[in-house]
Amino acid sequence: MELVADLDTSHQGGAIGFTGQEQAEVNGITFFIAETFADGKELWRTDGTSEGTFRLTDRMPGPGESIISQLTPLGNSLYVASNNNSNGPNLWRSDGTVAGTTQLGTAPDVRFRGITRVNDSLLLAGWDSAHGLELWLSNGTSEGPN
């Protein structure tokens, strides 16, 4: 066994959060959620090498935690639900690069509760105060869920 990468170089003591429960693989890249003292909880990726292991997002700069969940592969991309408590919940897409990790269109006030693949689309369970629990469909483009 060998060390791939030191995810938290601040070495402030204690443990970072990485359980391996939230991870997904797309085109040889494993996406995962890790929590560090410096950056809080964010989306990371690895290809199994030190150079290929790095943080993709910093949705809440500093040690605050983004809420990231529902890692869902579709085609050559990974989709995640993310909320940084200032911009509300959004759907994000990543191709495994920092530049290719972007927020898709928003669905105002919707709190996504689940994402799954259906053919070439994403089916999202979302709740909002006006309608309650509803199903949303996204083709994974910047138009966002509808």
Q: What is the pLDDT of residue 34?
A: 84
Question: Is residue 11 assigned to a domain?
Answer: no
Question: Is residue 15 assigned to a domain?
Answer: no
Considering its fold, how many domains does the chain have in total?
A: 1
Question: Is residue 64 assigned to a domain?
Answer: yes
Average pLDDT, stretch 41-67? 82
Tell me, what DSSP letter sits at residue 10? T
Supply the mean pLDDT for the chain: 78
Question: Is residue 5 assigned to a domain?
Answer: no
> Is residue 131 pLDDT above 90, yes or no?
no
Q: What is the pLDDT of residue 104?
A: 80
> Is residue 58 pLDDT above 80, yes or no?
no
Portion of the chain with pLDDT greater than 70, in percent: 71
Q: For the stretch 97-136, what's the b/e string if a residue is b when 16 or more beta carbons lie within 10 angstroms of its beta carbon?
A: eeeebeebeebeebbbeebeeeeeebbbbbeeeeeeeeeb
Question: Is residue 128 assigned to a domain?
Answer: yes
Under the banding of pLDDT at 50, 70 and 90, the label for residue 15 is very low
Question: Is residue 9 assigned to a domain?
Answer: no
Question: Is residue 78 assigned to a domain?
Answer: yes
Domain that holds residue 74: 23-138
pLDDT in tens, 93-104: 999 999 999 888
Q: What is the pLDDT of residue 38?
A: 74
Q: What is the pLDDT of residue 64?
A: 65
Residue 41: CATH number of its domain: 2.120.10.60
Under the banding of pLDDT at 50, 70 and 90, the label for residue 14 is very low
Question: Is residue 16 assigned to a domain?
Answer: no
Under the banding of pLDDT at 50, 70 and 90, the label for residue 7 is low
Q: What is the pLDDT of residue 125?
A: 83
